[in-house]
Structure 1
Amino acid sequence: MAFTELNNAKMRLSLSSLLGPSSWTCVLLALVLGQGLPPVGAYSSENLLTWMQASNFGLQVLQYALNDTESSTGDEAGCLVEVQALLSSAGAQALQALRVLDAWGKFPQGLLYGHFTDLGNYESCLSSSYQSVGSAPKYCLSHIQFKSLLLEGIGSEALSLNIGTCIPSSCSAAQLNRWLHSHLRSMFGESGDPTEESDVLVQEQSCSVAQAAPMDGLDWFAVAIFACLGTVVLVATLLDYGKAAGKLIGAFSLRQNVPQLFATSTSPSPRVIPCLHGIRCLTILWIIFGHGYMFLLQAPNINSYEIVAWAQTPSSMLLQSGSISVDTFFLLSGMLLVLTTLREMEKNQGHLHVPLMYLHRLVRLTPVLALAVLFFMTLFPRLDNGPLWQQFTGASELCKDTWWATLLYVQNYAAPGRMCLGHSWYLAVDMQLYVLSPILLIALHKWGKRAVGGIVVLILLLFGCVFSIIMLNELQVFDRRGNLGADSPQMRLIYYTTHARATPWLIGLLFGHFLHTQGGRKARLPRWMTPLMWLLCLGLLASALFAVFPYTQPGAGAISPVAGAFYMCCSRIAWPLALCWLIWACQNGLAPGIDSLLGWYLWQPLSKLSYCLYIWHLLVETVNVARTKSSLHFSDYDAFLRFWSDFGVTLLVSLVMYLFVEMPVVRVELELLRRFRKPKVDPAAAVDAPVVPPATSISRQNLVDP
């Protein structure tokens, strides 16, 4: 049926016929082919192909390959043969050859509104069946640099156009770089010097082919580990249903662990701080949301100019100052460590078993982290592909050199710019503080207030240390252009380091000691003091989040080192102090409504997953942005939608890791300790003792758990 006849027939269809499946197929096919539009003429498909060739960027660039004298000899000569065959086939309008050229990106439309990227058609390039001399196509992403800006305030001193290309796989990135240079030189005039006016960068790392690299021994080792883990859980679950599983095997049973995960408690207890569940959950959601925004800002957007306007809004400060969210975890870590340890020391006449304390922390943190490192350096790069895949997942190669630093928790000093998992610096800082903690814990137990004074002095010394580091190195603690890379001096000196991050943790120690001495007694304050303390709390929170907001406005200069040093040092004191009041107010009935929200019992299952959520969320977000195959649109609503997709997948992965790894390891550890320790009570009474939930610096369920 001719197209016009199909259109007229479609208009004559009755409602009943439209409901039939075959009719729907015809309608959808007609819409895909562009029916429903008035005819524009009798242009043939050959005319369409001619138009495509006339405006094809790839065809224009590859013409310069024919005059590439540097490629006429050696290994690169075979590339020219394939390019000649490709151009000849395209001249004959062979569809397979035209598909290779059609996969090239074009000059980005909407450049003046911040659209700097045209990725072309990645899938069309690599799925093409065109094969001239034995070499399939290869996709490469080119970066064309211009020194002068067309837009003010775009946030960079150079303009980079990113254009996808599709060439025979026998051709190298260096050859493509020369051809792009030649094309731009002819476009800008022979007198133009491309090394001064523009620069083209094509690297082999930004190229990909359809054929995936074969799996090596380490990849198969990772597959075996995950397969064995799944098998153990499956067997343990089946044995548990048959009542044949012992304590150790039963620790891996889903039949036992799933109820443990979703178990909640609403019974009041002086040993439990319910609001910590809500604080922990909201903090991990904030971190996931903030990292999702970070990836969206790094992805190619068709409206990058909107990012400049967004960065000048007050709401954006929740993300621009989002790094302070981790200080919440440091505060909770120090506070819970003191509360649990001092209680145990009082029971044991002041004795602290330090080696067992270290082993306890390693056993509970390392398994999930080690599996994440193994997965990231082996199977992770094979999950998907795309034009940006190498750009975002290339960090997995760093694991082959720095995995040991991550598992030893020293990556923040040993490899600050080359960390295997970029967000694992937090675990390193927390572990190093934990290693040093026995000194302070013993001092607090023996000397009480005098030790508190010593910790206050230590906080002041760290204040001066960080302040002097910023001043001596003239560091920019806040860059509204977002140019602080992972290996920048700011990150290496004041973001990753333990001495620069210890203040909230030390404040947590002091607050935990205060709660311990209070002993669960309800405090009474004068009526006028409660609203005053709430005003002070809100003021501290607002100052930590919005103090640098004036520096985001148009025409504002860069923040001075002195102002930046004061902001950095004071914000890491103000934020934890405000949270201390919030927690204390919830515990003492001075936060009506807030304590009910933060202490909501449904936070408890998510709180148990918070450690796995933290470890795995960045891997999920990396996959979601790295598989991007076309430019995105930036807006708060788009970021909100992306958050739910990131969080949903992360929640599923975390659920598996918790049930398969974190919870079983905890139960095995407790069972082994129960067997090797001499019981102080009747063993029969301890058989059905409840399983203590996993304890980490991020995921600690209550104050009973050390």
Structure 2
Amino acid sequence: MDNIAGFIFLCGLVLVSATQPQDEILNNFQQVTKLSHLGLEFADFFQNVTLSDISLADSRAPNEEDLLCLRDLTLFSNALKERKLWALKMIDAWGSIPSGILTGNRHNLGNYDECLNINKDISQGVTIRGKYCFLQTSLSAMLGSDIGALGVVTRIKTATCFPASCSAAHMNLFVSQVLQKVLNLDIPSTAMGISDASCQTSASEPWDGLTIFTVVLLSLMGAIVAVFTVYDYFFCKNHNELPAIVKAFSARANSRALFRIVENTSNPNVISCLNGIRCMSLFWVVFSHEYTGRFFAANLNLFNVLPWSKLPFASFILHGFFSVDSFFFLGGLLLALIALRTMDRTKGKLNVPLMYLHRLIRIVPILAVAILVYTKLMTVVANGPLLQGFSGETACETGWYWTLLFVNNYTNVKCLGHTWYLSVDMQLFIISPVLLIALYKWGKKAAAGIFVLIVLLSGCLFATMMVNNYSMMFFQNSFSIDAMSNMYFATHTHATPWLIGFLFGYFLHLNKGKKFQLSWISVWSGWILCLAMIFTSIFALYPSTQSNTPPLTTLEESFYYTLTRVGWPLALCWVVFACMQGYGGMANSFLSSPLWQPLSRLSYSIYMWHLFIQEMNAKSSRTNSYFSDYQLMLQFWSDIGITLVVAYLLYLIIEAPIGGLDNFLRPQKKPAGVQKTSSYPIQIVSDQKVHGDGPSKLKETETIAQTISE
């Protein structure tokens, strides 16, 4: 059992190597390299002990579970001595000391499937199955000291495989006795041990009522969609005259609407570039989540993350939260622009309750289904060494209602953590009628009041950072969870870009159809300032990440986060304005391409399901991954491809049908003399307002103008 001692020693080597003389480190490392497979050491020990040496029941009387475990261990011991294949597989499935601990490898996943596939009938009524568990060693607990965030990287896991009848308590007691009898070591259970939460067997757990409900719901919706699709295909010859109920549920009709390409026109009310801005931000969000999800996966080289964070490219990921501000800006702009134009036609009428109702109908159903799928179907559709006890399961089981109430941004329990933006955006949407009515009645005076509010909120953000000495530098010691909660998730700290977009929408409303004649100097100056703000926001902190640069002071960080939260949406104001006025050039050609339209319509579903696919793929992996930009790019295209398929299917059976039913709550078509709302930016938004969880995405109602007018 020298292997276990070496396992512990190697954990300590991660921290103490920097303080030891180089010769001593080399000698210790040479000693470690002579250690062999943990499972083989366990097998050698187990064959040379008797059951009297292993008291699984400790000092108490053995119960039925203890006796069952002892029986299977006896059978396993005999089979091991006889070199039976199933017993050898149980040893072969063990992991070893992770190679590359000094580069951050904290996992050895062993052979997950080999262990779980062990199913040996010994005699009538006696079957031995494999149980796959992680043996975890915590250096901080072993040393009896708190080493803060560094404790995460010193928690090392290696795979073990035992008979399924033995519980984690049995295995821990067995390991403890081995250490005491063989190595004369007494290690606390918090320092090394196996937990039941890390164990898996091939036996599938029976579905509970909620899992059955989720499967039945998805199956029922799929069947309904299939029936109406068949009816549409065989019995509806003219798709322009489809019955409303068929149009709502037919996959053929919804696919036709989803993939419809509308050519850009010269209509000044159509802001086609927003589709491109939304979709580019969507890719930014998913790509950033790909990285953040892989930072603490089973990487061979976790410690490479730190030097990676000092590269210029890392700034695109570490500051990906600007996509949040982009979508807050888009949300405020579209809400103000569409609502005010509709209020002009309805003489200021605003049906607020119906406005809220339509929004809830559009957003809540797919959100509720996502909670069910994340919580109940993750382990049904996938399996793997790291999938047991995945991150969102417990949070959704205990705090799902905070998400559906749109207040999870103020709670510590975040079911579907990326939906915090839904809460923030909904809270801003709830107060929007007050601002809309104020703008309609008092015009520029109300706009001035909103400008003052922007200044006050910016000052609040600055003061919050200064008073609490907060830092948002992710790879600095000064970063804290409190800073994320009070500065990143809070609604008032993200209201500024939304309000700027809101005011810009009011500006576009006042200048509807107006052509601004700008000199080439003004145009070039606008683009230079815009690009300067964008690149400054992303790369301004890059010099401070270098080793030879002193860290930023709280004052410097406070100015950075306060000013960029204002500067970023102002830069987007220029992009939208220039594209609308014909000064966008190549940027407008790219952002306004009709090819963005289908992806834009699907963006809400992509937002809801991309983390599900990313987590499922990452945690079902049977081998360690390697952290590098190229490997992450490969994984990104794999995940985004699967996400697109899943998002499309869920769009057809959940989002589109329920969204189509929302139309039944609306009045019939208005007289032909009334101008249709589709001539306004509804066409450009196409029912999708993407948003970001530092990055994330959100859906806005396609017919919000009708909603508000009612």
Answer yes or no: same fold by TM over 0.5.
Answer: yes
Amino acid at match of 1:283: S
Give the alignment partner of residue 274 of structure 1, picking from 262, 272, 275: 272
Please give the TM-score of this superposition, normalised by the length of structure 2: 0.84
* Alignment partner, residue 337 of structure 1: 335
CA offsets, 1:440-487, max 9 Å, x none? 1111111122111111211122222223333343333222169978xx
Give the alignment partner of residue 656 of structure 2, picking from 658, 663, 670: 663
Between the aligned partners of 2:546 and 2:178, the Cα distance in structure 1 is 40
Between the aligned partners of 1:519 and 1:54, the Cα distance in structure 2 is 73
* Alignment partner, residue 601 of structure 2: 608
Deviates more, 1:311-320 or 1:368-377: 368-377
Change (3 A) 1:559 1:201: farther
Between the aligned partners of 1:626 and 1:411, the Cα distance in structure 2 is 25
**Is it true that 1:114 corresponds to 2:104 in the alignment?**
yes
Q: Alignment partner of 1:140: what SS? A: strand
Amino acid at match of 2:228: A
* Alignment partner, residue 57 of structure 2: 71
Change (3 A) 1:630 1:557: farther
* Alignment partner, residue 30 of structure 1: none
* Alignment partner, residue 43 of structure 2: 59
CA offsets, 1:571-590, max 9 Å, x none? 21121111111111111122
CA offsets, 1:222-263, max 9 Å, x none? 111111111111111122234466322332112322211111
1:660 positional shift: 2.4
Q: Alignment partner of 1:543: what SS? A: helix
Give the alignment partner of residue 387 of structure 2, picking from 386, 389, 410: 389
**Is it true that 1:449 corresponds to 2:444 in the alignment?**
yes
* Alignment partner, residue 309 of structure 1: 307
Q: Alignment partner of 1:136: what SS? A: strand
Q: Alignment partner of 2:572: what SS? A: helix
Amino acid at match of 1:404: Y
**Is it true that 1:425 corresponds to 2:420 in the alignment?**
yes
Between the aligned partners of 1:619 and 1:98, the Cα distance in structure 2 is 36
**Is it true that 1:264 corresponds to 2:248 in the alignment?**
no
Q: Residues 39 and 92 of structure 2 are in contact (CA less than 8 Å); yes or no, is this contact kept in structure 1?
A: no
Q: How many pairs align? A: 641
* Alignment partner, residue 34 of structure 1: none
Deviates more, 1:395-404 or 1:285-294: 395-404
**Is it true that 1:84 corresponds to 2:74 in the alignment?**
yes
Q: Residues 608 and 700 of structure 1 are in contact (CA less than 8 Å); yes or no, is this contact kept in structure 2?
A: no
Change (3 A) 1:107 1:54: closer
Change (3 A) 1:528 1:83: same
Give the alignment partner of residue 233 of structure 2, picking from 238, 241, 249: 241
1:197-596 matches, cutoff 5 A: 199-243=191-235, 246-266=243-263, 267-391=265-389, 393-413=390-410, 416-480=411-475, 488-554=481-547, 559-596=552-589
1:134 positional shift: 3.9
Q: Residues 100 and 130 of structure 1 are in contact (CA less than 8 Å); yes or no, is this contact kept in structure 2?
A: no
Change (3 A) 1:306 1:443: same
1:525 positional shift: 2.6
Unaligned runs of 5+ in 2: 1-34, 237-241, 691-697
1:65-214 matches, cutoff 5 A: 67-69=53-55, 71-72=57-58, 73-74=62-63, 75-130=65-120, 133-147=126-140, 156-157=150-151, 159-181=154-176, 190=184, 194-195=187-188, 199-214=191-206
Between the aligned partners of 1:169 and 1:491, the Cα distance in structure 2 is 42
Q: Residues 586 and 595 of structure 1 are in contact (CA less than 8 Å); yes or no, is this contact kept in structure 2?
A: yes
Change (3 A) 1:68 1:507: farther
1:394 positional shift: 4.4
Q: Residues 339 and 704 of structure 2 are in contact (CA less than 8 Å); yes or no, is this contact kept in structure 1?
A: no
Change (3 A) 1:406 1:505: same
Please give the TM-score of this superposition, normalised by the length of structure 1: 0.84
Change (3 A) 1:424 1:60: farther
Between the aligned partners of 1:271 and 1:65, the Cα distance in structure 2 is 84
1:69 positional shift: 3.9
Amino acid at match of 1:230: G
1:155 positional shift: 7.9
Between the aligned partners of 1:556 and 1:62, the Cα distance in structure 2 is 55
Q: Alignment partner of 2:585: what SS? A: coil
CA offsets, 1:409-459, max 9 Å, x none? 12222xx33222111111111111000000111111111221111112111
Q: Residues 369 and 615 of structure 1 are in contact (CA less than 8 Å); yes or no, is this contact kept in structure 2?
A: yes
Between the aligned partners of 1:54 and 1:585, the Cα distance in structure 2 is 65
Change (3 A) 1:60 1:514: farther
* Alignment partner, residue 24 of structure 2: none
Change (3 A) 1:183 1:591: farther
Between the aligned partners of 1:480 and 1:181, the Cα distance in structure 2 is 37
Amino acid at match of 1:233: V
Change (3 A) 1:511 1:212: same
Change (3 A) 1:117 1:303: same
1:56 positional shift: 1.4
Q: Residues 478 and 559 of structure 1 are in contact (CA less than 8 Å); yes or no, is this contact kept in structure 2?
A: no
1:219 positional shift: 1.4
Q: Residues 117 and 162 of structure 1 are in contact (CA less than 8 Å); yes or no, is this contact kept in structure 2?
A: yes
1:353 positional shift: 1.2
Q: Residues 467 and 569 of structure 1 are in contact (CA less than 8 Å); yes or no, is this contact kept in structure 2?
A: yes
Q: Alignment partner of 1:143: what SS? A: strand
Between the aligned partners of 2:37 and 2:101, the Cα distance in structure 1 is 23
Deviates more, 1:567-576 or 1:58-67: 58-67
CA offsets, 1:295-353, max 9 Å, x none? 22221112223322211101011001112211111110000000000001111111111
Deviates more, 1:178-187 or 1:102-111: 178-187
* Alignment partner, residue 621 of structure 2: 628
Q: Residues 132 and 160 of structure 2 are in contact (CA less than 8 Å); yes or no, is this contact kept in structure 1?
A: yes
* Alignment partner, residue 239 of structure 2: none
CA offsets, 1:276-296, max 9 Å, x none? 000000111111111111222
Q: Residues 156 and 481 of structure 1 are in contact (CA less than 8 Å); yes or no, is this contact kept in structure 2?
A: no
Q: Residues 126 and 210 of structure 1 are in contact (CA less than 8 Å); yes or no, is this contact kept in structure 2?
A: yes
1:112 positional shift: 2.6
Between the aligned partners of 1:351 and 1:205, the Cα distance in structure 2 is 56
Change (3 A) 1:251 1:300: same
Q: Residues 58 and 104 of structure 1 are in contact (CA less than 8 Å); yes or no, is this contact kept in structure 2?
A: no
Between the aligned partners of 1:375 and 1:522, the Cα distance in structure 2 is 49
Between the aligned partners of 1:137 and 1:320, the Cα distance in structure 2 is 42
Between the aligned partners of 1:452 and 1:332, the Cα distance in structure 2 is 18
Q: Residues 607 and 701 of structure 1 are in contact (CA less than 8 Å); yes or no, is this contact kept in structure 2?
A: no
Q: Alignment partner of 1:437: what SS? A: helix
Q: Residues 154 and 308 of structure 1 are in contact (CA less than 8 Å); yes or no, is this contact kept in structure 2?
A: no
CA offsets, 1:482-527, max 9 Å, x none? 9978xx3223222222112111111110111111112132212343
Q: Once superposed, what is the RMSD of the aligned Cα atoms? A: 3.1
Between the aligned partners of 1:296 and 1:505, the Cα distance in structure 2 is 30
Percent identity of paired positions between Structure 1 and Structure 2: 36
